[in-house]
Chains A and B, each alone.
Chain A
């Protein structure tokens, strides 16, 4: 649904994106994970046609983001990080304005607004001025705006940023629910959010993609660990329970080490792959170890 190939974005002499490439599957909720300043917002601004790429191609829902910018903008719903809204307008008034602007037929505007407001649980404040709403409500109004024209692709830039834990849970549940009938590409740097809502993940670090794929595959790959006692191996660590442990990059290396332990007359307690959590994987990817 989204294909990015060799995307470069420069601001003057500064290169924000170094030829990144990735794809987002149709119908998936994909997290775009990266530290602050990694290039997430710049990428999303290119995907939403706010900024043009310096080079490379971006295709959204089959349309080229440069040559068919308006077609792309018709197919996407985009929520910028700052959640820009007009505080002087009432929620319903604002959503009607946005629906008309995005090409919803005049006869269908009321139904589209009502559906978006209900889905984002802002139907109880449609008559309230936006300026009087809490941050959580404003965030959901922003998402309602993004889906009011029923786009195929939803692009959300840090939708839970600045929310309290309860509001964060509400928005997280909403994003997951919206992913049931469209492609959602959501940028974040909050790991539990990714684990709770996403199918796939793309990790960006210093303007380069350092990992991408299904979430399940990302939370593995920590090597193979053996736990033993009454033997010694180079690089083994002593645990609190008096046993030793060592982690190896491959199963073959771990098997050889286990054989050495047995040969020394030691006791082998465990030989198993290490299930590295997403947080650890993200930390490894963004500290340059594998980047």
Chain B
């Protein structure tokens, strides 16, 4: 299973590599992040690279709202539109392998950007700053973790339609819901409410702030993995729905 998943992921990576959209989007996101959390912010931080990391991660969380839909919107919708989906699923592969392989490719591309953001504080070294490797690692873990949730949401959106554009809008709507709904719902509930604890755990913004501060929380990682798995399961079920017709 892993072998076929990787074969699908590798083909998708090739498609990302030859398409300009990936590189333009990634470069634009990184350039914008660098402009916001760049030397000016570094100078303003007064050499406090810890605060600078928190700021960079917060900005990248915002970037993920746009980057994840762009990377994931075409994963399945384009296969359906072009007809290659029929050739793909009549090969001896399972729907789970198709979904996970495609998700994995987009996740790897996103992880490149997240890795650059995670090591961003190194730009502070010439200014006398001293980045904390532990904090950079936990920031990276948080960034790729939240990224995986958003890309899984985009993969699910892509499974719902053969229109890339519509998949992109749906993905963005899902990402916005995932980011803001838990916090909004939490604010509307009392602390004792049965859902409060679950919503607090599902708050991706709080998770990324924990990670950016250097806190590796296993529960946060497990929550992100569970959210990712659930969204990929929805995408798989959507593909399988052709068998229920």
Contact = CB atoms under 8 A, between A and B. Distances in A.
Interface of A: 11-12, 45, 48-52, 70, 73-74, 76, 78, 80, 82, 84-86, 88-89, 93, 97-98, 100-103, 145
Given A101-B7, A101-B93, 4 more contacts: A12-B245, A51-B245, A78-B87, A80-B86
A14 to B, nearest CB: 11
B103 to A, nearest CB: 17
A45 B153 CA distance: 30
Interface stretch (B11-19, B108-116, B154-162, B172-180): B11-19
Contacts of B8: 101
Contacts of B242: 50-51
Given A88-B18, A97-B7, A103 B243 contact: no
A52 B83 contact: no
B94 A78 contact: no
Contacts of B10: 97
Contacts of B15: 86, 88
Contacts of A100: 7
Contact of B91 (A86, A93, A101): A101
Contacts of A145: 87
* 3 closest Cβ pairs, A-B complex: A84-B83, A84-B84, A82-B83
B90 interface: yes
A73 B9 CA distance: 20
Contacts of B85: 84
- Interface range for B: 20 to 34
B90 A48 contact: yes
B90 A78 contact: yes
Given A88-B15, A88-B18, A97-B7, A80 B91 contact: no
B90 A97 contact: no
A78 B87 CA distance: 8
Contacts of B190: none
Contact of A52 (B4, B87, B94, B243): B243
Contacts of B7: 97, 100-101
Interface string B52-94: 0000000000000000000000000000001111111111111
Contact of B82 (A52, A76, A84): A84
Contact of A73 (B14, B19, B92, B245): B92
B85 to A, nearest CB: 8
Contacts of A84: 82-87
A70 B82 CA distance: 23
Interface string B14-35: 1100110000000000000000
B83 A51 contact: no
A80 B245 contact: no
A158 B16 CA distance: 32
A86 B82 CA distance: 9
Nearest to B8: A101
A101 B11 CA distance: 10
A5 B80 CA distance: 30
B90 to A, nearest CB: 5
B105 to A, nearest CB: 13
